[in-house]
């Protein structure tokens, strides 16, 4: 579980796994629902897995992400557009990440979320996937774009590092910085 606490690396690796599994998952779902619904349902499962990771990193309960995921699930059967569903999924991921899991107010976070949603939407509009392989690549690109959030805000630095992974000098430096930042009592 320690390795899951590196958000950038885990997001990229999770996206790669989801990209490889997306095609077989779509074909399996196609036995139950139509092809466009199978793509959306498979993508919903990917987003639900990512939302679970986000709640794990932020130490939020899974009930807090239930409403956005349920809303997104219901739109699969109400919408007939896979591109529209993808854009709505981008908005839901932004809501889960910045509105539920990592709640810190500020225009900077809003601007970054807006930029990530726009970048993801532009990728969908300019690279409209026509085959299952293109959708699989799109899923991985989705997670590459989502990993920028953790690069920009450095969420992983708040996570406790393994004691033996850092050197003696780094531990002493961090301890000195924490003492100096505490100031006089």
Q: Is the predicted pLDDT of residue 170 greater than 80, yes or no?
A: no
Of the candidates 135, 181, 179, the residue with the CA atom closest to the CA atom of residue 30: 135
pLDDT attached to residue 174: 73
State the maximum Cα–Cα separation within the chain, in Å, rounded to a whole number. Answer: 67
Question: Averaged over 86-111, what is the pLDDT?
Answer: 80
- Using the predicted structure, report yes or no on whether residue 160 has a pLDDT greater than 80: no
Average pLDDT, stretch 60-83? 89
For residue 9, the model assigns a pLDDT of: 87
| Higher-scoring residue by pLDDT: 84, 28 | 28
Paired tokens of 67? 């409403």
**Number of helices (H) and strands (E), helices first, in the chain?**
7, 0
> Predicted confidence band at 24 (pLDDT cuts at 50, 70, 90)?
very high
**Residue 118: what pLDDT?**
79
What's the pLDDT score for residue 140? Answer: 85
The three-class DSSP label of residue 34 is coil
The average confidence (pLDDT) of the chain is 80
Question: For residue 101, what is the DSSP state?
Answer: I
The pTM score is 0.75
Give the Cα separation of 29 and 37 in Å (integer): 8
**More confidently predicted of 180 and 84:** 84
Rounded Cα distance, 102 and 55, in Å: 9
């Amino acid at each position: 579980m320690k390795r899951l606490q590196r958000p950038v690396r885990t997001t990229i690796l999770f996206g790669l796994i989801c990209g490889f599994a997306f095609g077989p998952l779509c074909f399996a779902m196609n036995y139950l629902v139509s092809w466009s619904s199978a793509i959306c349902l498979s993508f919903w499962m990917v987003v639900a897995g990512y939302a679970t990771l986000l709640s794990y990193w932020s130490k939020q309960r899974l009930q807090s992400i239930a409403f956005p995921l349920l809303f997104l699930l219901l739109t699969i059967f109400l919408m007939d557009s896979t591109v529209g569903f993808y854009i709505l999924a981008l908005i839901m991921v932004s809501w889960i990440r910045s509105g539920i899991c990592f709640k810190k107010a500020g225009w900077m976070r809003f601007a970054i979320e807006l930029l990530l949603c726009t970048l993801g939407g532009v990728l969908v509009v300019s690279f409209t996937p026509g085959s299952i392989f293109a959708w699989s690549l799109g899923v991985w690109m989705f997670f590459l774009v989502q990993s920028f959030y953790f690069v920009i805000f450095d969420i992983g630095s708040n996570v406790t590092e393994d004691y033996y992974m850092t050197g003696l000098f780094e531990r002493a430096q961090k301890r000195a910085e924490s003492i100096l930042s505490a100031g006089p009592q």
